[in-house]
Amino acid sequence: MNLISNPLLFMLAKFFLVFVLIAAALSKLRDRDEFHGVVVNYRVLPDMLAYPFARMLPYLELSFAVLLLINAVTAYAGVLVALLLLSFAIAIGINLARGRTHIDCGCLRGAERGNGIGPYQFARPVLLSGLALYVAHAANAGVTATLGETVLALAAAAMTAILYIGADMLSSLSPASSNNS
């Protein structure tokens, strides 16, 4: 069995992406006006599109999370997730090229904790899109998991997502805020 056809790895990747999409959507829904400001600050969309995009994006992320869980459309959902994540990387890359590293990423945490964007914020959606393409490819290849593999993958994905989100939160702490604790 190779990595592509490994059902445990496939389910782990799928569930991990679901958790990341849900966490990202919930952070955007917590403060919609703040997230609208983040979208405007990227300066990649015309002003008239920034507001509808900021309002629609969390629901799109939640929809893609649900679609990943539906076996009949997992392959398509994986491609859609990859495209969405690559669009984030492009927006970050444009701003890095402009030298606008002070803007908030708008990813998993609120802008009030943002420390700007850099290579990490660019690499993250690129790597996650690769994971989404793996999920799409494995789903297209017909990889299936047993109930035991699914439960194990769900638990491992939940733990991995908690570590991922925790690392994101830690990376957003400024040196001043970490000295106050």
pLDDT tens for 121-153 read 999 999 999 999 999 999 999 999 999 999 999
Residue extents of the structural domains in the chain = 7-172
Q: If you search the block for the tokens 């990376």, which residue do you land on?
A: 171
pLDDT in tens, 88-111: 999 999 999 999 999 988 877 554
Distance CA 138, CA 142 (A): 6
Nearest to 135 by CA among 56, 82, 58, 62: 82
Are the C-beta atoms of 36 and 54 separated by less than 8 Å?
Answer: yes
Q: How far apart are CA 153 and CA 146, in angstroms?
A: 10
